Amino acid sequence: MKVWGSYLPRIAGKPSGVVEEVAVPEKLYINLQRGGLIYAPVVKNGQDVKFGQALAEVQVEGGKLSLPSPVSGKVFIKEKEDLPSIIIIETDEPKAEEGVYDTSRLKHISREEIRSTLSSSGIWPFFWSSETGGIPSLDDERPRAIIVNFLLSEPFRARGEVILKRSWRIIMEGIKFLDRLLADYGTIEIILTAPHGPVARTIYKDLAGFACVNFHPVQPLYPVENNMLLKRMLRKVSSSFKKEDNVWVIDAQGVEAVGACLSGGIPLYQRVVAVGGPALSDPKHLSVRIGTPVKDLLKDSKSGDGTCVLRGGLFLGNPVDPDRDYVNFDDDAFFFLPEVKKREFLSFLRPGFNRTSYLPAFATVVTRGDDTQVSTSLRGEIRPCVACGLCESICPSGLLPQFLHRYLFNGDLDDAEKIGLNLCIGCNLCTYICPSKIELQKQFALAKEELKAEHEEAKAILARKNTHD
Amino acid sequence: MKNRKGILDKIRPIFEEDGKLSFFKPIFQALDNFLFLSPETTKNPPFGRDPLDVKRFMSLVIIGLFPCFLASLYFFGWRTLLILLVSYIAGGSVEVLFALIRKEEINEGFLVTGFIYPLILPPGLPLWMVAVGIIFGVFIGKEIFGGTGRNIFNPALIGRLFLALGYPAAMTATWVKPGWLPWGKLLSPFTIGTPDAVTSATPLVLAKVGELSSIFNLFVGRVTGSLGETSAIAILLGGIFLVLVGVASFRTVLAILLSFTVFNGLLRLAAPSLVNPVLFSLLSGGILFGAFFMATDPVSSPVTKSGKWIYGIIIGLIAILIRSFSGFVEGVMFAILFGNIFAPIIDEVVIRFKIRRYAREE
């Protein structure tokens, strides 16, 4: 399968395939906001909780989602005025994690039971549904296909191959359970780099007889992991997929959690996070308990002063405060970006042995070097659009960002909508490469919101009119 | 390096909002930004950015133009340098003046316009005309449209067009014979006035009377013609560099050269007496220089990828039509300006097609 445009810069600080265990800290901090939902605590201050016990819940369509406790211990609730509260757990003596769900009836587990187990173990939000554009509803929603994506290309998110190597058996179990959530004749679509390699062959062998599995080769270029893009690609390779078909997407760690939960009875309690970036001396993967403070991830590796820590990868990550932020249920990466200190002299005339660009305009084209200079610097002055067309050639949706910018700059929202503003997947690539350093993504996101509001208003007016008639 | 930056930091307050020289802030800023990387940091995701900026982009064009500049020094002597200086000073003043009035930053785009413009002028042109042309080009061709990024036409070509229409005699009869000796004209004295040995016979003029210059001379550049456009080999060196680093669109270049070659070949079959042979046509006049350096100006060419193909085909066709069937011996300048006129509508058509595809996907 091919993606339009797309790009993967060679950034210094790629995490190695090693996965190190981080010791469980004395205190864990559970953020009660997850994926845009705010969970309400169901435990009391000072209460003892067991591993896997629900800490907080939220009602959604067709059921409720819970956040399970990643350890046994004592709970404290810290109220915050404007922000969702945080649950602090003082951990007991660490014990080996054991199953908390009854796994004896596995062979006969019904679809409803799978759903309720996954939603009470904190795993359900790992699914993305094209019908809802987010978490699938807990009603009887059944997808035409589930895409299992082993590629997270954004620098640097936890790599699927690392997860796969670490917990092969559990992932295979997980995929077998996914099959039971599908609609009749539904398929499992697996996204890998090499569809005919030994990995794919072994997966095929392990799953034979359990599920209808298809493999799709994809070049590991950012942003192949985007859910909407994956669905669009599926439609391109197989004409049997219709626009309105419901497709779910789940990544390697999600399937791993599904497998661990349904075959071993273990709720979601840890994450593999990739720590990488030019500011880190020893980039690698870490296996961490959910709720661990971000600063604990850095204990063994040095990162210089003046480092900006991004939650997520380079393209989509947002800065966090390492002292006051914690590993959340959905985290799989922290990017360590150096903060810019001094202004480089005649920087545009340098050959560029230590910087890489989308255009082959630096010496790294020949030396194949990495970009060690990426930092919080804008790396240039803000200029008017010079119509270089780089954004068009990089856009994975095949849009014309330069025209979207022109129309929105002139306040022409209608024309922007016509040329596909809503197809923008928000991957940030155009903003990353723009030589004029224009904040394209910000402009597009604001415009999309405005457009949505306009449409809702129009709908409301129409509805009112209809009731009058 | 500390000292260099120290001085700038010391005088910075004078140019700030309520400093004594705040009116001249754009000039200070231009110097500051030229010497040191912008201190601006990212405020929105992605928090790291690509190292390519407009300055780098424009300096690559200058590097690409350098072989042509060196060839023109070699063949036409040190007067080239003088013309370049006049172009930079006269055109730069207009650019700076507008930046001061608009209270905007000075844009790097002019560095390219000011470098390209001398290379499309006859070597013997009086210096005041050089100045008049670039002032007109920057003022009418760029600034009144709103500055960098908003112009419809290539400002350097507007400057040349003004001269061609306003001073047709000077523009057609101030060609200079190139240096023949191994050291070219590098040893000849520096002339401020119009050189003595001026002629009106460029290879294209000679071809009209049936005298074809040798292909070798055309390839090396040992013929009369505009400063930077005689040497095919220098143009190819710089031009291919620009295409390789991705600054010049290979689509535009390829489309122009292919369409020019094909239509030239077809027309020659139809009217051999009026149309020059293909190889001669390609190497003479401004077609190569135009294709690599003038038509690829991103601002005045279509923005869409497919639009660039159509744009190139139009330019190639019009160039050969003007050359063969009009009173002008050279038509590349008009052809590119024509292409500039069509650029917005070409984009419009491409977008129409794209909208249909988007509708299917949404």
- A324-347 pLDDT, tens digit per residue, is 899 999 999 999 999 887 788 887
**Which of B52, B148, B309, B355 should one mutate to test binding to chain A, selecting the residue with the greatest count of A CBs within 10 A?**
B52
**Which of A232, A388, A425 should one mutate to test binding to chain B, selecting the residue with the greatest count of B CBs within 10 A?**
A388
CA distance A209 to chain B (A): 35
Q: Assess whether B175 and B317 both reside in one domain.
A: yes
Cross-chain residue pair A436–B54, CB shorter than 8 Å = yes
Cross-chain residue pair A384–B107, CB shorter than 8 Å = yes
Question: Within an 8 Å CB–CB cutoff, is residue B3 touching chain A?
Answer: no
* Nearest residue in A to B57, CA atom: A435
Is residue B1 over pLDDT 50?
Answer: no
CA distance B50 to chain A (A): 5
User: Side chain identity at A29, as an amino acid letter?
Assistant: Y
**Which of A354, A379, A412, A440 should one mutate to test binding to chain B, selecting the residue with the greatest count of B CBs within 10 A?**
A379
- Would you say residue B41 lies in a domain? no
pLDDT tens column, A134-186: 999 988 889 999 999 999 999 999 998 899 989 999 999 999 899 889 988 88
Question: For position A2, what pLDDT does the model report?
Answer: 66
- Measure the CA–CA gap between A204 and A30, rounded to whole angstroms: 38
Question: Within an 8 Å CB–CB cutoff, is residue B147 touching chain A?
Answer: yes
Cross-chain residue pair A388–B60, CB shorter than 8 Å = no
Q: Which residues in chain A have their CB less than 8 angstroms from residue B244's CB?
A: 360
Q: How many structural domains compose chain B?
A: 2
- Would you say residue B295 lies in a domain? yes
Is residue B347 over pLDDT 80?
Answer: yes
Q: Assess whether B116 and B258 both reside in one domain.
A: yes
Question: For position B197, what pLDDT does the model report?
Answer: 67
* Nearest residue in A to B248, CA atom: A388
> Domain extents for chain A?
10-23+273-379, 25-93, 106-268, 381-459
Name residue A215's beta-bridge partners. A190
Length of chain B equals 362
Question: For position A99, what pLDDT does the model report?
Answer: 74
- Would you say residue B362 lies in a domain? no
Q: Which residues in chain B have their CB less than 8 angstroms from residue A423's CB?
A: 358, 361-362
- Measure the CA–CA gap between A428 and A426, rounded to whole angstroms: 6
- Segment B321-331 mean pLDDT: 89
Cross-chain residue pair B53–A380, CB shorter than 8 Å = yes
Question: For position B171, what pLDDT does the model report?
Answer: 87
- Measure the CA–CA gap between A426 and A431, rounded to whole angstroms: 10
Interface size A-B, in CB pairs within 8 Å, comes to 208
* Nearest residue in B to A231, CA atom: B361
Question: Within an 8 Å CB–CB cutoff, is residue B362 touching chain A?
Answer: yes
Question: For position B255, what pLDDT does the model report?
Answer: 97
**Which of A10, A377, A433, A442 should one mutate to test binding to chain B, selecting the residue with the greatest count of B CBs within 10 A?**
A377
Question: Within an 8 Å CB–CB cutoff, is residue B102 touching chain A?
Answer: no
Cross-chain residue pair B357–A436, CB shorter than 8 Å = no
- Measure the CA–CA gap between B33 and A164, rounded to whole angstroms: 48
Alpha-carbon torsion A342, A346, A347, A348, what sign? positive
Cross-chain residue pair B358–A420, CB shorter than 8 Å = yes
Spell out the SS3 assignment of A147-216.
EEECCCCCCCCCCHHHHHHHCHHHHHHHHHHHHHHCCCCCEEEEEECCCCCHHHHHHHHHHCCCCCEEEE
Name the residue among A19, A39, A190 with its Cα closest to residue A125: A39
pLDDT tens column, A187-200: 999 988 877 778 88
Is residue B226 over pLDDT 70?
Answer: yes
Question: Could you tell me which CATH number the domain at A25-93 has?
Answer: 2.40.50.100
Spell out the SS3 assignment of B284-344.
CCCHHHHHHHHCCCCCCCCCCHHHHHHHHHHHHHHHHHHHHHCCCCCCHHHHHHHHHHHHH
Cross-chain residue pair B57–A386, CB shorter than 8 Å = yes
Q: Assess whether B22 and B68 both reside in one domain.
A: no
Is residue B43 over pLDDT 60?
Answer: yes
Q: Which residues in chain B have their CB less than 8 angstroms from residue A386's CB?
A: 54, 57, 109, 148-149, 298-299
Q: Cβ distance A148 to A188 under 8 Å?
A: yes
Q: Which residues in chain B have their CB less than 8 angstroms from residue A388's CB?
A: 57, 298
pLDDT tens column, A290-317: 999 998 887 766 666 688 999 999 999 9
- Whole-number Cα distances in Å, A218 to A16, A225, A253: 22, 10, 19
Residues 248..267 of B with a Cβ closer than 8 Å to A: which?
249
Question: For position B194, what pLDDT does the model report?
Answer: 66
Q: Dihedral, CA atoms, A69, A71, A73, A76, nearest 10 degrees? A: -40
Q: Assess whether B63 and B108 both reside in one domain.
A: yes
- Segment B122-137 mean pLDDT: 94
Q: Give the angle subtended at the CA of B213 by the CAs of B209 and B218, to the nearest 5°.
A: 140
- Report cis status (omega within 30 of 0) of the bond before A223: yes
Question: For position B89, what pLDDT does the model report?
Answer: 95
In the three-class reduction of DSSP (H, G, I as helix; E, B as strand; rest coil), residue A272 is classed as: strand
pLDDT tens column, A444-459: 999 999 999 999 999 9
Question: For position B88, what pLDDT does the model report?
Answer: 96
Q: Which residues in chain B have their CB less than 8 angstroms from residue A352's CB?
A: 51
DSSP state of A332: -
Question: For position B278, what pLDDT does the model report?
Answer: 93
| Residue B157: how many other CB atoms lie within 10 Å | 27
Better pLDDT: B316 or A80: B316
In the three-class reduction of DSSP (H, G, I as helix; E, B as strand; rest coil), residue A309 is classed as: strand
**pLDDT band at B345; cut points 50, 70, 90:** very high
- Segment A4-29 mean pLDDT: 90
Question: For position B362, what pLDDT does the model report?
Answer: 67
| Residue A221: how many other CB atoms lie within 10 Å | 16
| Domain interval for residue B214 | 54-187+195-350
Is residue B252 over pLDDT 90?
Answer: yes
**pLDDT band at A94; cut points 50, 70, 90:** low
Residues 19..48 of B with a Cβ closer than 8 Å to A: which?
33-48
- Segment B93-104 mean pLDDT: 89
Question: Within an 8 Å CB–CB cutoff, is residue B188 touching chain A?
Answer: no
- Segment B108-121 mean pLDDT: 92
Q: Which residues in chain B have their CB less than 8 angstroms from residue A236's CB?
A: none
CA distance B257 to chain A (A): 21
User: Side chain identity at A156, as an amino acid letter?
Assistant: F
C-alpha radius of gyration, chain B, whole number:
22
**pLDDT band at A4; cut points 50, 70, 90:** confident
Is residue B2 over pLDDT 70?
Answer: no
Question: For position A304, what pLDDT does the model report?
Answer: 61
Tokens standing for B183? Answer: 């050291």
Question: Could you tell me which CATH number the domain at A106-268 has?
Answer: 3.40.50
Q: Assess whether B246 and B141 both reside in one domain.
A: yes
- Measure the CA–CA gap between B157 and B130, rounded to whole angstroms: 13
Question: Within an 8 Å CB–CB cutoff, is residue B5 touching chain A?
Answer: yes
- Segment B243-250 mean pLDDT: 93
Cross-chain residue pair B54–A232, CB shorter than 8 Å = no
Task: Tell me which residue has tokens 């067309």.
Answer: A389
**Which of A378, A394, A409 should one mutate to test binding to chain B, selecting the residue with the greatest count of B CBs within 10 A?**
A378
Question: For position A108, what pLDDT does the model report?
Answer: 75
DSSP state of A343: P
Q: Assess whether B76 and B139 both reside in one domain.
A: yes
Question: For position B261, what pLDDT does the model report?
Answer: 97
- Segment A226-237 mean pLDDT: 89
pLDDT tens column, A347-382: 788 888 888 999 998 888 888 888 888 999 998 889
- Would you say residue B205 lies in a domain? yes
Q: Cβ distance B324 to B274 under 8 Å?
A: yes
- Segment B198-210 mean pLDDT: 82
Name the residue among A203, A311, A331 with its Cα closest to residue A270: A331
Name the residue among A442, A359, A431 with its Cα closest to residue A391: A431
Cross-chain residue pair A432–B49, CB shorter than 8 Å = yes
Q: What percent of chain B has pLDDT over 90?
A: 57
- Segment B46-61 mean pLDDT: 92
Is residue B11 over pLDDT 70?
Answer: yes
